[in-house]
């Protein structure tokens, strides 16, 4: 919570935080499983080429096995790349609601931030695909006055996040109304 903590104003408290779902690692895991499958298949092709085939067939089978082995190496590197990207997303995404505003940050080198005052929020929408419904994650989009729209992907329990933000906004509005009534003497 480094960015959120550093962004707090005096008398501002974090009321709610959300986090990124580990499902962001699924593409890297699936790519790694494909890597293993291609490696096992290419190893079997290489074994067949050594098992006594005629020399003309051996070179063709061996060439195909080497090509599959190179492809599995490429997939392995790609799965590591996807895993590192997912790890960066998980470690660098912060999403919090304070008693005054919504604060969010994504990215490490290329940073994207959102700081929206609670009264300026028009709506919070949630988008979940089938996998998101099954694993309880989705995209939370905060829309502000003037059409400002920010989306945050793979948030855990997005329906709960929307409900909590709406509750905090409602409490903030009631508090502002009470202050207004006290000042006007009503």
Give the Cα-Cα-Cα angle 18, 135, 77 (nearest 5 degrees). 90
Q: Does domain 2-20+94-184 have CATH number 2.30.29.30?
A: yes
Q: What is the pLDDT of residues 8-28, one digit of tens each?
A: 999 999 999 999 999 999 999
pTM above the 0.85 mark?
A: no
Task: Give per-residue pLDDT as tens, 151-179.
Answer: 999 999 999 999 999 999 999 899 889 98
Query: Where along the chain do its domains lie?
Result: 2-20+94-184, 26-88
Q: How far is CA 3 from CA 6, 7, 86, 98, in A?
A: 5, 6, 19, 13
């Amino acid at each position: 919570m480094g960015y959120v903590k550093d962004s707090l104003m005096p008398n501002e408290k974090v009321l709610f935080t959300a986090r990124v779902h580990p499902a962001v690692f699924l593409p890297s895991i699936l790519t790694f499983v494909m890597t293993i499958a291609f490696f096992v298949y290419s190893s079997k092709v290489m074994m067949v080429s050594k098992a006594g085939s005629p020399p003309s067939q051996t070179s063709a089978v061996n060439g195909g096995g080497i090509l599959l082995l190179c492809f599995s190496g490429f997939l392995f590197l790609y799965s590591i790349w996807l895993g590192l990207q997912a790890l960066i997303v998980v470690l660098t995404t912060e999403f919090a609601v304070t008693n005054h505003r919504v604060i969010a940050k994504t990215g490490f080198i290329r940073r994207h931030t959102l700081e929206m005052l609670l009264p300026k929020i028009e709506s919070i929408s949630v988008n979940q695909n089938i996998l998101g419904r099954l694993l309880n994650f989705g995209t939370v989009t905060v829309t502000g006055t003037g059409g400002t729209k920010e989306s945050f992907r793979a948030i855990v329990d997005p329906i709960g996040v929307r409900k909590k933000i709406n509750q905090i906004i409602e409490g903030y509005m009631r508090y502002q109304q009470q202050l207004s009534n006290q000042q006007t003497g009503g």
